[in-house]
């Protein structure tokens, strides 16, 4: 676990998780999805591209995305330490939620498959998706905590950007190719149980 020197000193009262690549092992390959749709792999974020599509094209793209997201549910496996970490957070009475660019129904299906229980799920239909800070702010308001008391755990740049923009701490779950995003994180971890170390350290340093 590595730590940025600019981490806020507030105790952690809320943990916000991304789903694919964070709670579960990475599965969705958005370059592959964009190619199947007929887009260049480097055309930009898919959800933002979909906002500009006419209805007929949008329906076709939604069907392709739905297929891949269902496969992600069926093939999902938990990242090491996921169940243990969530159980410990529940034991410590620290709430945790999901902030995803996927749908709440898909996140709930993954939770059901692996016998997980999230307090709240904010998805792409709840409001502006990551990297917008909307979801982080909404979850903080829901649980009555300050953004400085929240940590956001994810495996992609958008997770870190949404955290920073909201005033929360950004935690990068390093899974291989995403180490390049570490410069945008307050913390980097390679096992979800290290979140508990972050919480303990923040409590000690108050």
pLDDT tens series, the chain, 206 aa:
555 545 555 799 999 999 999 999 987 777 788 888 777 767 777 777 777 778 888 888 888 888 888 888 888 999 999 999 999 999 999 999 999 999 899 999 999 999 999 999 999 999 999 999 999 999 999 999 999 999 999 999 999 999 999 999 999 999 878 999 999 999 999 999 999 999 998 887 65
The radius of gyration of the chain's CA atoms, rounded to the nearest angstrom, is 17
Question: Which candidate, 100, 186, 178, places its Cα nearest to that of 147?
Answer: 186
Q: Which of 19, 101, 29, 111 is nearest to 64 (CA)?
A: 29
User: From CA 161, how far away is CA 168, in angstroms rounded?
Assistant: 10
In the beta sheet, which residues pair with residue 170? 152
β-strand pairing of 150-154 with 14-17: parallel
Domains contained in the chain, CATH given: 2-26+77-204 (3.40.50.1000), 30-74 (no CATH)
Question: Which among 134, 96, 93 has a CA at the least distance from the CA of 18?
Answer: 96
């Amino acid at each position: 676990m590595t730590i940025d020197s600019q981490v806020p000193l507030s105790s952690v009262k809320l943990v916000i998780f991304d789903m694919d690549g964070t709670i579960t092992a990475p599965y969705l390959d958005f370059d592959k999805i964009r190619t199947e749709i007929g887009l260049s792999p480097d055309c930009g974020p898919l959800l933002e591209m979909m906002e500009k599509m006419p209805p007929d094209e949008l329906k076709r793209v939604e069907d392709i995305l739905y297929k891949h997201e269902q496969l992600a549910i069926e093939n999902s496996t938990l990242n090491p330490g996921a169940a243990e970490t969530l159980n410990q957070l529940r034991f410590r009475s620290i709430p945790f939620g999901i902030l995803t660019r996927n749908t709440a129904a898909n996140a709930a299906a993954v939770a059901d498959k692996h016998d997980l229980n999230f307090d709240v799920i904010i998805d792409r239909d709840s409001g502006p998706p990551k990297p917008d800070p909307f979801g982080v702010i909404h979850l903080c308001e829901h649980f009555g905590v300050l953004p400085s008391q929240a940590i956001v755990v994810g495996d992609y740049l958008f997770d870190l950007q949404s955290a920073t923009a909201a005033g929360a701490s950004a935690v990068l779950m390093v899974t291989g190719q995403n180490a390049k995003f570490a410069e945008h994180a307050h913390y980097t971890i390679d096992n979800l149980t290290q979140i508990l170390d972050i919480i303990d350290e923040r409590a000690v340093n108050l």
